[in-house]
Amino acid sequence: MLTYAVRRLVDVLPVLVVITLLAFLVFYLDPSDPVVMIAGEHATPDVEARIRARLGLDQPAHVQYLTFIGNTLSGDFGTSYRSRQPVIDHIAPASVATLYFTGAALVLMVLIGIPAGIISAARPNGWADRIVMSTVLIGLSAPIFWVGIVLMYVFAFRLGWFPTGGFFHWSGIVLPAVTLALQYGAIVARVTRTSMLEVLGNDYIRTARAKGVAPSKVFLAHALRNASLPIVTTIGLQVGSMLGGTILIETVFAWPGLGRMLVKAILERDAPIVQSGVMLIAIAVLVLNLATDVVYGLLDPRVRFS
């Protein structure tokens, strides 16, 4: 198992290098000059030259890239062009807020998706199946920001049950997490239903039923266990997509997370914050995909030797 995990980690490293290169090139090729933004439009050439030298922007592209990688590996994410504060002071609290938000949405996604898929597969084409699949279709079709706005209008403005957003009370996370979980939970429910129906048609399931095994045990101990591989894979992939979805949801609900911070930094052309934020999200996605692969190998030993 350790060999398999190390092999998967080695496969991830080239992807990480490409991501760091793209994060660097996006702002290196940007025609706007950060020195003018820092010094002001009326700064003298001498002032601009000193700032350019201090930021290392007078160096060749490959030197700037290697410096960027070296500083990142050492934990130095640079200084914000706008606030003049270390980038880590912006990244750290925003990352905690996003982790808190995404973790809650992940738990809700699993609690919504897997039971809904099992209920739907229990009686195909029955009334429960049709209700679940209709809800899944709505969840997949509706834009995620629209769902957030509707939930905010109903449960925050009209009923007053939850705040419209913010990180100041535990109730502030409910609407953002539910919004994110509904769409991705619909995907998990659909995959769970399909995988369960495929497994329930196998001979060993019919044999278990013929032996008088309780229906709950057939579903949970036999069918769900063997249907778990595509479900786990889907959950792992959706967590990566959820990190991208947080940009919209954090903006709608004014959640002080990484996505909202990145949108603000992009509009302000604050390259150090954008590069560090993109790097952090990319690493998080790669780690989650690596963890999914490891879990996949634990569930199915054949994967480790393929």
Chain centroid to CA 300: 25
Sign of CA dihedral 209, 213, 217, 223: negative
What's the mean pLDDT in 239-255? Answer: 77
- pLDDT surpasses 80 at 217: no
CA distance 142 to 133: 14
**Max mean pLDDT range (28-37, 59-68, 212-221):** 59-68
Residue 214 domain-assigned? yes
Confidence bin at 3 (pLDDT 50/70/90): low
**What range defines the domain where residue 260 resides?**
103-269
Residue 49 domain-assigned? no
Sign of CA dihedral 15, 21, 24, 29: negative
Confidence bin at 67 (pLDDT 50/70/90): confident
pLDDT, position 212: 72
What's the mean pLDDT in 34-41? Answer: 66
- CB distance 205 to 222 below 8 Å: yes
Residue 110 domain-assigned? yes
CA distance 101 to 245: 11
Confidence bin at 119 (pLDDT 50/70/90): confident
Ramachandran category for residue 33: left, alpha or beta (phi over 0 → left; psi -120 to 50 → alpha):
beta
- CB distance 234 to 185 below 8 Å: no
Domain total of the chain = 1
User: DSSP for the chain?
Assistant: -HHHHHHHHHHHHHHHHHHHHHHHHHHHS-SS-HHHHHH-TT--HHHHHHHHHHHTTTS-HHHHHHHHHHHHHTT---B-TTT-SBHHHHHHHHHHHHHHHHHHHHHHHHHHHHHHHHHHHHSTTSHHHHHHHHHHHHHHHS-HHHHHHHHIIIIIIIS-SS-SS-SSSGGGGHHHHHHHHHHHHHHHHHHHHHHHHHHHTSHHHHHHHHTT--HHHIIIIIIHHHTHHHHHHHHHHHHHHHHHHHHHHHHHTT--SHHHHHHHHHHTT-HHHHHHHHHHHHHHHHHHHHHHHHHHHHH-HHHHT-
**Max mean pLDDT range (68-77, 186-195, 223-232, 296-305):** 186-195
Percent of the chain with pLDDT over 90: 0
Confidence bin at 24 (pLDDT 50/70/90): confident
Instruction: Give the long-range contacts of residues 279-286, CB within 8 A, separation 24 or more.
Output: 279/19, 279/20, 279/23, 279/72, 280/91, 280/95, 281/243, 281/244, 282/16, 282/19, 282/23, 283/16, 284/243, 285/240, 285/243, 286/12, 286/15, 286/16
Residue 84 domain-assigned? no
pLDDT, position 165: 66
User: Which residue from 93, 22, 101, 71 is spatially nearest to 274, judged by alpha carbons?
Assistant: 22
- CB distance 242 to 105 below 8 Å: yes
Confidence bin at 280 (pLDDT 50/70/90): confident
Q: Which residues are paired to 79 by β-bridges?
A: 86
What's the mean pLDDT in 48-73? Answer: 76
Domain CATH number, residue 179 = 1.10.3720.10
pLDDT, position 53: 77
Chain length of the chain: 306
Residue 145 domain-assigned? yes
- pLDDT surpasses 70 at 83: yes
pLDDT digits (tens, 9 = 90+) for 154-207: 888 888 787 776 666 677 788 888 888 888 888 888 888 888 887 777 777 777
CA distance 67 to 207: 64
